[in-house]
C-alpha cells in the first residue's frame, strides 16, 4: 500500500454530486424515485452522503436528471447548513458531461461561478469524510480503494505517487490493485480541460479521459481510502448498506420514543430504535441492531432481527423478519417469514407467505464496510418486492426473486 502523508486542514468548501442517472440496475426500487432517494433507515441515500460533508462543505451542487423534481422537493435549498444548487443534465452524456452541464449553468447565470477547488462525488456510494478530506491534500487528486477483484472496476494506473490514467475493468490486474471509488478533488481549471476531451465510443464524456488529460499536464495524486465505501448498484446493495448502517449503531443504547407503546412482555436485545407512536405487541422479540420507524404496529408474537421496519408499516401476528429492509407502509401478514429481503413502499405479504433467502457463494462483494458486515452476510439473497406488490397468502417466493409492480 502506498504511503499516505498526514492530512492537513482542508479548505475546499464546495462539492458537486452527480445524481442525474436513471439507474435501471436498481429497479424496481428506482421505478418511482431517483436512486439517491432510496430510503436507508431514517433518511435517503443522498442524505447519508451529504452527512459526510457537514463541517467541510458550505455549498453543494447537485447535478440532477431523472425525477429531479423529487430531489428538489425533498431537499430544498439547504441541507444541514449547506446551500444547495441544482443543475439539470439534460443529456445524460457521461460523468464528465455532468461537469459540462455545471459549466453551462454558470454561463447562463443559473448558479454562482465555480471559481475555486471542489469535490466531485457520485451520488450512489456511501463514503467517509476522512476520505473526502484525504483527496483534498492535493490540487488534483482522487481516492483509491484496494480491491480483491479489480476486473469489475476502473483501476488506477500509478507511477510512484502519481496517477497516470484509469483503466476500465482490466482483465489482468492483480488482486489488491487500486480501484476508483469516485471521490475526486479538482479546481475550476478542469472546465477548460473538458473541452479537450472527445466523446467515448458510447458517445459519453468520461472522467477517465479527463484524468488522463490532467495527468499529462499536472501532477494527479491519490489517497488510499481509510473509511468505508458501499456502492448502491443493485437492490441487494440496499441490504448491505442497511446492515452497515445498523451495525454502526450497534454499540448505542436503545432509543425508544416516549410516545411508543411496548407491551410489558416484549423483549428488546441490543440497539433498537423505535419511532413515535409505534406499538409493539405482546410477546414480541426484537433483536438489534434494528430500526422501527414512526407509526409502526408490530403484531403480537413477532420476531424481528437486524432489520428495518419503515414508518407506518403494520405486521400481522407471529411474523418472523430477519436481516431485511421494509420501506414505509409495508404490510407483512400474520405468520409470514421474510429473510434478507427488500420490500418497497406498500408491498404486502399475505398470511403465511414466505420470502426465502440463500447464501450465494459465487457473489463477490465489493463493498468496504470496515469489517462491520461480513462477507457471508453480503452474499445472502432473499426477495425484492417493488412498490405495492402483493404476495398472496401462503405463497412462497424463492431466493433471488425480484417482483416488479403489476407482476
Query: What domains lie within the chain, and their CATH numbers?
Result: 14-233 (3.90.550.10), 237-403 (2.160.10.10)
Question: What is the DSSP track for 249-266?
Answer: TTTSPPEE-TT-EE-TT-
Q: pLDDT class for 6, splitting at 50, 70, 90?
A: low
Report the predicted TM-score, pTM, of the whole model to 2 decimal places: 0.94
**Which phi and psi angles does 245 have, rounded to 5°?**
-65, -35
User: Does pLDDT of 1 surpass 70?
Assistant: no
User: Does pLDDT of 299 surpass 70?
Assistant: yes
pLDDT at residue 2 in the model: 39
The tally of CA atoms less than 13 A away on the side-chain side of residue 49 is 30
pLDDT at residue 227 in the model: 94
Mean pLDDT across the chain, nearest whole number?
A: 93
pLDDT in tens, 360-372: 999 988 899 999 9
Rounded CA separation 391/383 (Å): 11
pLDDT in tens, 11-48: 999 999 999 999 899 999 999 999 999 999 989 999 99
pLDDT in tens, 162-214: 988 888 888 887 888 898 999 999 999 999 999 898 888 887 888 888 999 99
pLDDT in tens, 72-92: 999 999 999 999 999 999 988
User: Does pLDDT of 51 surpass 90?
Assistant: yes
Amino acid at each position: 500500500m502506498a504511503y499516505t502523508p498526514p492530512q492537513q486542514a482542508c479548505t475546499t468548501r464546495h462539492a458537486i454530486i452527480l445524481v442525474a442517472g436513471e439507474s435501471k440496475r436498481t429497479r424496481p426500487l428506482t421505478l418511482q424515485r431517483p436512486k439517491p432517494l432510496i430510503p436507508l433507515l431514517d433518511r435517503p441515500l443522498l442524505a447519508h452522503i451529504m452527512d459526510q460533508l457537514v463541517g467541510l462543505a458550505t455549498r453543494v451542487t447537485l447535478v440532477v436528471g431523472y425525477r429531479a423534481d423529487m430531489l428538489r422537493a425533498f431537499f430544498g435549498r439547504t441541507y444541514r447548513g449547506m446551500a444547495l444548487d441544482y443543475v439539470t443534465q439534460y443529456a445524460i452524456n457521461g460523468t464528465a458531461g455532468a461537469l459540462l452541464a455545471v459549466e453551462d449553468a454558470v454561463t447562463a447565470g443559473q448558479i454562482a461561478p465555480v471559481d475555486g477547488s471542489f469535490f466531485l462525488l457520485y451520488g450512489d456510494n456511501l463514503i467517509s469524510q476522512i476520505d473526502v478530506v484525504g483527496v483534498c491534500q492535493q490540487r488534483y487528486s482522487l481516492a483509491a480503494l484496494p480491491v480483491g477483484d479489480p476486473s469489475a472496476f476502473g483501476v488506477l494506473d500509478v507511477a510512484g505517487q502519481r496517477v497516470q490514467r484509469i483503466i476500465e475493468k482490466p482483465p489482468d490486474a492483480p488482486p489488491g490493485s487500486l480501484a476508483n471509488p469516485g471521490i475526486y478533488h479538482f479546481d475550476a481549471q478542469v472546465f477548460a480541460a473538458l473541452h479537450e476531451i472527445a466523446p467515448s465510443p458510447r458517445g459519453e464524456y468520461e472522467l477517465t479521459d479527463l484524468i488522463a488529460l490532467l495527468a499529462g499536464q499536472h501532477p494527479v495524486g491519490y489517497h488510499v481510502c481509510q473509511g468505508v465505501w458501499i456502492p448502491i448498484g443493485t437492490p441487494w446493495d440496499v441490504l448491505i448498506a442497511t446492515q452497515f448502517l445498523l451495525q454502526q449503531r450497534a454499540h448505542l443504547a436503545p432509543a425508544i420514543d416516549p410516545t411508543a407503546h411496548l407491551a410489558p412482555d416484549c423483549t428488546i436485545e441490543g440497539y433498537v430504535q423505535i419511532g413515535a407512536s409505534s406499538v409493539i405487541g405482546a410477546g414480541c422479540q426484537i433483536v438489534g441492531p434494528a430500526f422501527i420507524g414512526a407509526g409502526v404496529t408490530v403484531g403480537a408474537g413477532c420476531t424481528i432481527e437486524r432489520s428495518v421496519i419503515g414508518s407506518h408499516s403494520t405486521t400481522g401476528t407471529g411474523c418472523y423478519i430477519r436481516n431485511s429492509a421494509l420501506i414505509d407502509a409495508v404490510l407483512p401478514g400474520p405468520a409470514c417469514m421474510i429473510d434478507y429481503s427488500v420490500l418497497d413502499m406498500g408491498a404486502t405479504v399475505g398470511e403465511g407467505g414466505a420470502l426465502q433467502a440463500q447464501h450465494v457463494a459465487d457473489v463477490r462483494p465489493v463493498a468496504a464496510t470496515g469489517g462491520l458486515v461480513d462477507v457471508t452476510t453480503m452474499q445472502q439473497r432473499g426477495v425484492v418486492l417493488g412498490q405495492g406488490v402483493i404476495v398472496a397468502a401462503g405463497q412462497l417466493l424463492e431466493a433471488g426473486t425480484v417482483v416488479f409492480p403489476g407482476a
